[in-house]
């Protein structure tokens, strides 16, 4: 569904700090959950930024369902891509309330005008979405997001990102800031959402166990290329850990 061809990305080209991150990366993603693993600094976040159009590649092309999206900028791609960032604060507006944040996400894709943003008739729907996470956030609709914990913020980011059922969901270590129980809830929720709506989801993680449990496919990235690419059910945790450690 998403085809990436001959991707090249260099940071600080022509300087002493030049970093050739990807020289010729080609990879396809399907409408399933792909876990993306790899050592720190191997370029996982950068790859997601390139897909989201937030950063520009030096060379290479991207196609989504046969349509060339290489030239589309971040704003055009936002119509079908949603993200949950590595940093819990990146996906929310901290000085606004939970309700206001949800209303903003709910309005994505429509023109922003001088009409009222928060619509009372949607509140029950928001409550339901939050309740599914089981974190009690549904009782905190009027709390300011800056008063939430990192994990609560990240869960809210997930709800906001998936509110409009994107075709592509980019998850960058989205449960790294969560405690084990919440992390599991959020991962299960993510899995259920992506499966139900057949969302193409790329999930960056450093945990082989969650990768095996919540993804359909496992890709290990190392030194700018794909070191491993297998179906999740065909590999054991031990084997994955081995590859990951030697990547």
Ligand X SMILES: Nc1ncnc2c1ncn2[C@@H]1O[C@H](COP(=O)(O)OP(=O)(O)OP(=O)(O)O)[C@@H](O)[C@H]1O
Q: Which residues bind ligand X (CB under 6 A)?
A: 11-12, 19, 21, 38, 40-46
For Mg ion, the closer of residues 45 and 243 by Cβ is 45
Identify whether the C-beta of residue 214 lies closer than 8 Å to the C-beta of residue 190.
Answer: yes
For Mg ion, the closer of residues 45 and 143 by Cβ is 45
For the chain, state the CA radius of gyration. 18
Identify whether the C-beta of residue 106 lies closer than 8 Å to the C-beta of residue 161.
Answer: no
115 binds, among another protein, Mg ion, ligand X, none (CB under 5 to 8 A by kind): another protein
CB of 154 to another protein, least distance (A): 14
Whose CA is closest to 77, among 44, 110, 54?
54
CB of 43 to Mg ion, least distance (A): 8
Q: Kindly report the CA angle at 127 between 126 and 133, in degrees rounded to 5?
A: 100
CB of 81 to ligand X, least distance (A): 17
Q: What character string, x for contact with Mg ion (CB under 5 A) and - otherwise, covers 104-123?
A: --------------------
DSSP-assigned states of every residue in 212-234: HHH-SEEEEEETTEEEEEEEGGG
Q: 68 — alpha (psi -120 to 50), left (phi > 0) or beta?
A: beta
For another protein, the closer of residues 100 and 216 by Cβ is 100
Cα 121 from chain centroid (whole Å) = 29
Q: How many CA atoms lie within 13 A of 213 on its CB side?
A: 13
Give contact residues for another protein (rule: CB under 8 A).
Answer: 54, 74-76, 78-79, 82-83, 85, 89-96, 100, 103-105, 107-109, 112-118
For ligand X, the closer of residues 44 and 217 by Cβ is 44
What are 202's strand-pairing partners?
34, 170
90 binds, among ligand X, another protein, Mg ion, none (CB under 5 to 8 A by kind): another protein
143 binds, among ligand X, Mg ion, another protein, none (CB under 5 to 8 A by kind): none
Residues 32 to 51 in contact with Mg ion, rule: CB under 5 A: 45
CB of 16 to another protein, least distance (A): 24
User: d(Cα 201, Cα 214) in Å, to the nearest integer?
Assistant: 11
CB of 47 to Mg ion, least distance (A): 9
């Amino acid at each position: 569904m998403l085809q990436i061809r001959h991707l090249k990305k260099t940071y600080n080209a022509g300087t002493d700090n030049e970093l050739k991150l990807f020289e010729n990366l080609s990879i396809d993603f399907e409408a399933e959950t792909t876990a993306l693993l790899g050592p720190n600094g191997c370029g996982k976040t950068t790859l997601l930024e390139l897909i989201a159009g937030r950063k520009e590649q030096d060379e290479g092309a991207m196609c989504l369902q046969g349509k060339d999206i290489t030239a589309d900028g971040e704003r055009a791609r936002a119509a079908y891509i949603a993200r949950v960032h590595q940093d819990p604060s990146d996906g929310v507006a901290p000085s606004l309330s939970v309700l206001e944040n949800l209303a903003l996400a709910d309005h994505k894709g429509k023109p922003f005008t001088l009409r009222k943003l928060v619509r009372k008739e949607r509140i029950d729907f928001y409550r339901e979405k939050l309740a599914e996470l089981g974190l009690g956030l549904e009782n905190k609709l009027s709390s300011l997001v800056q008063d939430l914990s990192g994990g609560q913020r990240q869960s809210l980011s997930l709800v906001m990102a998936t509110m409009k059922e994107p075709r592509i969901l980019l998850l960058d270590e989205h449960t790294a800031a969560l405690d084990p129980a919440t992390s599991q809830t959020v991962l299960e929720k993510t899995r259920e959402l992506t499966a139900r709506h057949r969302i193409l989801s790329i999930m960056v993680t450093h945990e082989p166990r969650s990768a095996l449990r919540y993804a359909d496919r496992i890709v290990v990235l190392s030194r700018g290329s794909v070191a491993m690419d297998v179906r999740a059910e065909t590999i054991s945790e031990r084997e994955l850990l081995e590859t990951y450690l030697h990547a």
